[in-house]
Amino acid sequence: MSIIRQMTLVHIYTDGACRGNPGPGGWAAILVTEADGKKIEKELSGGEKLTTNNRMELTAAIKGLAALKYRCKVVLTSDSKYLCDAVNLGWAKSWQKRGWIKSDKKPALNPDLWERLLELLDAHDVETVWVRGHAGHEYNERCDALATAMADSFKD
């Protein structure tokens, strides 16, 4: 007789922000799961003094997934079309296979972050969902507030 352990379902909501592009940036991830019938939330955030919005969007997803201690079923929700389309449409894996060159023969941006994100996506069972930003989605709004606060913390 074998024991099958059901994977924990974790919702990860992410956002990135940048004041200028490039400029000071922030990222945020909120992890939400249930244990013993109780909702558990964990907020993560950080930033960089000089970065881009897309780097912060990718970093938020990386930090959220990296916070998981074992393989989980994940619904990753982001307002970044760059992130969601590159994952859902297979662009990022294609860039990787071509040595981080896009189909138009130009270099893919942020290969360091994409490399790490693809590793984490393979480590979990991840569904990536796009939501419109600044449209009243509770967790997206919370992530935006955390990310912009981090970006603003780097201003002189």
Q: Which of 15, 26, 64, 124 is catalytic?
A: 15
Model pLDDT for residues 72-107, shown as the tens digit of each residue: 999 999 999 999 999 999 999 999 999 999 999 999
Q: Has this prediction a pTM greater than 0.75?
A: yes
- Of 14, 126, 13, give the one whose Cα is nearest residue 72: 126
DSSP states of 28-56:
EEEEEEEETTEEEEEEEEEEEEEE-HHHH
Mean pLDDT of 107-113: 97
Residues contacting 100, CB < 8 A, separation 6+: 107, 108, 111, 114
Known catalytic residue at 16: yes
> Does residue 14 contact residue 55 with C-beta atoms inside 8 Å?
no
Is residue 134 annotated as a catalytic residue, yes or no? yes
- Residue 122 annotated to the active site: no
Q: Which of 26, 47, 64, 79 is catalytic?
A: 79
